[in-house]
Amino acid sequence: MALSTWLSVGVQAQSAWSERMVESVMRWHPDSIVVGGKKTALWNYEQGFVLKGIERVWTRTGHGRYFEYLRQNTDRFLDKEGNIRTYKRSDYNLDHVASGRTLLTLYQKSLPDRTRYRQAADRLWAQLGQQPRTPEGGYWHKQRYPHQMWLDGLFMAEPFAAEYSALFGHPEHFQDIARQFALIEARAVDEKTGLIYHAFDASRKEPWADPKTGRSGQFWGRAVGWYAMALVDVLDYFPADHPERKTLIGYLQRLAPVLLRYQDASSGLWYQILDQAGREGNYPEASASCMFVYALAKGTRLGYLPATYAAAARKGYEGVLSSFVKEETDGTLSLHQTVSVGGLGGSPYRDGSYEYYLSEPLRTNDLKGVGAFIFASLEMEIAAGSRVGEGKSVLLDTYFNREFRPGTSGQPEPYHYTWDDQQHSGFWLWGTIFRDLGAQTRSLPEVPTAGTLAGADVYIIVDPDTPRETAQPNYLEATHRAAIRTWVERGGVLVLMANDTANCEIPRFNQLAGLFGIRFTDKNRNRVQGSQFEQGRIDIPAGTLIFGQTRAVYIKELAPLALAAPAEALVTDQGDVILARAKYGKGTVLAVGDPWLYNEYVDGRKIPPHFQNFRAAQELSAWLLAQVPAR
């Protein structure tokens, strides 16, 4: 299917390629992911790479079975103390660190045994602490490859290290992460082409190494692909105020035009050996092409690269679909023309020559290509979807709702309806939906004023605290209400989410809501006993404003609304107003009596799949952003 056709078939089809490939993986490997020709599953970067892609498809779809597949494939390797089956630290192999990203994902979720994921991640972190290094501080790729830095190693180690550092309070380590990239830029980048050699040997002793520079002899596509992916993924966790963040973005900006220079003009693809497209034996290679599509598309989406690079990503992706992807008769997808491996040294010895890289066999459905295809497809699906949030900011109150729990670094951390909280209690997944729509998500931990609300397009206030929840709650006072009303009148989009009266400071919240003709009542409905989820069902008729495809949602223990002008009901159930809006000046107010879009009821892991809370979150987010007046 041509990309232009694929882009035109609507929202449902936009997730088709990433999701269909995930479904294919789950059919090939119904119990556990087995790499290559192995007979049993091993702790391996290929399996971790694919699982990370499956994780992201889960966050794009809300299908809980993807999360369960991720969890089960990881659990197979762990005992109760977080020891990792088939992993040996003494190998000091950076490849073994890459799968640690799934450990960090699982640790942050509400799971009864999540401590063991932290313990397993700690073991990989300990490996990095003892990893052998070159004299300049670069990680050896493996213990058995002394003094050698490979491009592959940047992807294997650094995204894990960056997320671990951010999650567990190691800000000092970001300097070391930056140093690994700086050494590659200084030692492996070719001055003439701007391309990057696969590796360099700091000792200059390997036969494959140039005796003066230590560099290997070829620009291997997938190696450069690993490096490009490492850059855009590390930046997800690199502190915004860290002085080296701009340096890393600069590396991506240096590399991007080089990638365009070596992109095949006809097919949009990249070759196995990047700078020798016309040489006999060379061929367009699937994994590298997908990796470059991903890095260029993500770099463009996040503003690291100019918007013009999106066209190169689209062209590359169209080439991937037309040249490498095949739909099989059983409904699965196949990805063709991924090179099986590329290395240096070892036994038999790999000399890094052009002939060597062209001698490695090609595989269909090699997991390195499949994982890269899932990553690339996700980015292209985000790009092809609605970008109604482009240039807009969604502000979440953390002043009136301000609760704390013991944090991962030993210090109290805010939680409960926050963007960063990935457990059941958080809005992390809702924030991901907003960000995929192009919006920026921020938090407001101080009082709303004309100054603090400036630049916000959507402002969400959820479940203001009572003394029962917070020792010294911050209350909505008259000055706050006045500032919010003025902000709405000038075009702001305000979202008010209450809770049942026992868990929300309703009286003052109602004074704010009343400015717009809305009152949260004392009634508490949809009380759900245990797992009798139907007691929380709200049906949404066809034709309801906001919800074009959502037909049933789960909302428990909510406060129905009483309305006066200018408010109007949007969703009602059994005579109760569940959701309402009010137009006020140039702005919009939306109110609902429960914070029903927190992770527990959106991520597909708990409630039955016929409840469409994830779909509702997507539709509501797009609608809220669309209410922002044009500037």
Closest-CA residue to 297 (of 252, 254, 334): 252
Instruction: Using alpha carbons only, give the angle 394, 541, 614 rounded to the nearest 5 degrees.
Output: 40
| H or E, element range at 228 | helix 221-234
Cα 317 to its chain centre, rounded Å, is 20
CA distance 308 to 429: 29
Residue whose tokens read 């299917």: 1
Closest-CA residue to 222 (of 269, 177, 264): 269
**Where would I find the H helices in 262-327?**
286-301, 309-323
Tell me the pairing of strands 576-584 and 587-592: antiparallel
Read off the tokens for 330: 């059983």
The answer to whether the CB of 371 falls within 8 A of the CB of 53 is: yes
Cis peptide bond N-terminal to 348, omega within 30: yes
- What is the sign of the dihedral through the CA atoms of 43, 49, 51 and 55? positive
| H or E, element range at 580 | strand 576-584
CA distance 181 to 188: 10
Give the number of other Cβ atoms within 10 Å of residue 410's Cβ: 9
CA distance 284 to 276: 11
Annotated catalytic residue 366: no
| Residue 225: partners with Cβ closer than 8 Å, 6 or more residues away | 287, 288, 290, 291, 292, 295, 372
The one catalytic residue among 91, 122, 152, 436: 152
Tell me the pairing of strands 440-444 and 458-462: unpaired
CA distance 223 to 199: 9
CA distance 262 to 284: 11
| H or E, element range at 26 | helix 16-28
CA distance 591 to 498: 8
SS3 of residue 571 by DSSP: strand
CA distance 14 to 437: 13
CA distance 443 to 426: 13
CA distance 426 to 419: 6
Give the number of other Cβ atoms within 10 Å of residue 99's Cβ: 26
Read off the tokens for 295: 């890095």
- What is the sign of the dihedral through the CA atoms of 85, 91, 92 and 98? negative
Read off the tokens for 422: 């990935």
Positions marked active-site: 152
